[in-house]
Every structure is written in structure tokens, then in C-alpha cells.
């Protein structure tokens, strides 16, 4: 079962910062400079943690924040394109 996660990071080296952003772009959508919204299963979270663990150093920080369905329903967002559906569409053709 999948759910939404906010993944926030603070990486102190520019090279690692770019690598972390690239990895996260493969898992979700950027909301702000160092915050991503990801639709993940528990297995996806572990895979993401493993991939980031290969890049990050002890001085870097990452927060994985699970967002429950009730929290998603209570969110208020200024622009509609940034809205969080309870579940994203299965396929998006760009």
C-alpha cells in the first residue's frame, strides 16, 4: 500500500546536493528547493533510503515524513496545480 511522503534534506556539499536532488526526482515531485513530495510504498521508502545512504555523509540530514490520508484532506494549498490528491493518477502522459 502506498502513501504520501514529504522528503526534506539539508546537504552541505554541492556535488552531493545535486545527486540527492536527482535521486529524489526519480521518486517524486519537487515542491520547494529541498522538499519533495513522493507517493511511496514501504519498500520504495527503504529503497530510497538505501540509495540516498550511498550518497550522503554523516553531516547531511534527511527527513522522511509520512502524510496520512486525513492530513492530505486537510491541506490547504495556494495554487491548485500543487494540490495533493489522496492518490495520484496511475499514469501521466506528458
What are the sequence ranges of the domains in the chain?
A: 3-73
Size (the chain), residues: 94
Write out the H or E segment, with its range, that includes residue 7.
Answer: strand 3-10
Classify 73 as helix, strand or coil.
Answer: helix
Which residue do the cell numbers 526526482 mark? Answer: 25
CATH architecture of the domain formed by 3-73: 2-Layer Sandwich (3.30)
The whole-model pTM stands at 0.80
Question: What are the average pLDDT values for consecutive 10-residue runs of the chain, which has 94 residues?
Answer: 94 96 94 93 96 96 91 72 64 57
What is the C-alpha separation between 24 and 7, in angstroms, rounded?
A: 8
Amino acid at each position: 500500500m502506498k502513501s504520501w511522503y514529504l522528503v526534506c534534506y539539508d546537504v552541505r556539499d554541492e556535488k552531493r546536493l545535486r545527486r540527492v536532488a536527482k535521486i529524489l526526482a526519480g521518486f517524486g515531485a519537487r515542491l520547494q528547493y529541498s522538499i519533495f513530495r513522493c507517493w511511496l510504498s514501504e519498500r520504495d521508502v527503504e529503497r530510497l533510503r538505501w540509495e540516498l545512504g550511498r550518497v550522503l555523509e554523516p553531516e547531511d540530514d534527511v527527513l522522511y515524513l509520512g502524510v496520512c490520508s486525513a492530513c492530505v484532506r486537510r491541506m490547504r494549498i495556494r495554487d491548485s496545480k500543487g494540490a495533493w490528491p489522496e492518490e495520484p493518477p496511475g499514469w501521466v502522459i506528458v
